[in-house]
Amino acid sequence: MPKHTIKTACLVLSPVIFILSFIPASWETDSSDFSPYTQKIPGTDIGIDLSPVPAGTFMMGSPAGEASRNADEGPQHEVNISAFWMGTYEITWQQYELFRERKIDDLNDGSTRGKEIDFGVDGVSAATAPYIDMSFGMGKNGYPAINITQYAAATFCKWLSAKTGNFYRLPTEAEWEYACRAGTTTAYSFGNDASQINDYGWYYDNSDGKYQKIGQKKPNPWGLYDMHGNVAEWTLDEYSTDSYKQFAGKTSDNPWVVAEKLYPRVARGGSWYDDPQDLRSARRQASSKQWKMIDPQLPKSLWWHTSAPFLGFRIVRPVKTPSKEEMEKYWLKPIEDN
């Protein structure tokens, strides 16, 4: 938990009961063209860069002797991960506001559509407009979108999928840590020496009290930027302090702790107001209803965490497209209990 106090942010951790689900085995096939690419958003000159994350096996969580380790990061357990693409950068305001404003829904510039999705954008809920500047005056051009609920992030993925014809979603917690580590076993993707964090991430002491434009620091070994710091990032999973205990001594395939309650859920990576130890690869953060602390809506907004200027997201696309039923689970599960 961050040591620093921000008037608009508060974090509360609470245990929950969880259900484990597994991604279908059909995900284990390979792609014929597993390369970096830019997803053009039809009707605009805006794209989203994605980097390949190869299939593999890793030890999830932190070893007992890791400095600043928290109890919820263990026990370490072996996980198999299928191949996917991940956003090279965090989703920016320019990308997110195309979805929120919906002015391009009926525009198509003739770009070739993918064949994974066959429904139109008119079947996707539209985000409500915020009542205040959700960037909190920290800037929007080139900056990550913040104050976004998990529902908003998942619905952005559904909209992007419908718009492009390719299937996008949020990463699972296991996928996120696997991608962050990028084959490393150290506290950070660059090693164990926290003094090197200035080269790789934005945190409390170097961020000037706000988030920064994407991609200014060094990437991790798989070419992903800002995995340590800048803004924390949503994953699909429900949070529990003892999530990992059931995995001890086992090897799990593509685990996803399916959320059964609205709070708490898992964010990863740490942010611009955290200390270096909170940017470690294994560090977990639980969402809280306090992230809506200044929201005047009753009921509280489905779209905005008005007290979470540290929170954003990035997207993934699996190499093997899941069934339509599985797609809906990835998009709709985050909204339950809202």
**pLDDT tens digits for 290-306?**
999 988 888 889 999 99
**pLDDT tens digits for 147-190?**
999 999 999 999 999 999 999 999 999 999 999 999 999 999 99
Q: Give mean pLDDT, residues 96-121.
A: 89
Q: Give mean pLDDT, residues 76-100.
A: 98
Query: C-alpha distances in angstroms, 197 versus 201, 222, 271, 283?
Result: 6, 17, 12, 15
Q: Which amino acid is at 220?
A: N
User: Would you place residue 61 in the very low, low, confident or very high pLDDT band (cuts 50, 70, 90)?
Assistant: very high
The long-range contacts involving 133-136, CB below 8 angstroms and separated by at least 24 positions, are 134/304, 134/306, 135/93, 136/8, 136/309
SS3 146: coil
User: Would you place residue 284 in the very low, low, confident or very high pLDDT band (cuts 50, 70, 90)?
Assistant: very high
Indicate yes or no: pTM above 0.75.
yes
pLDDT at 97: 97
For residue 99, pLDDT over 50 is answered with: yes
Report the alpha-carbon angle 63-175-17, nearest 5.
75
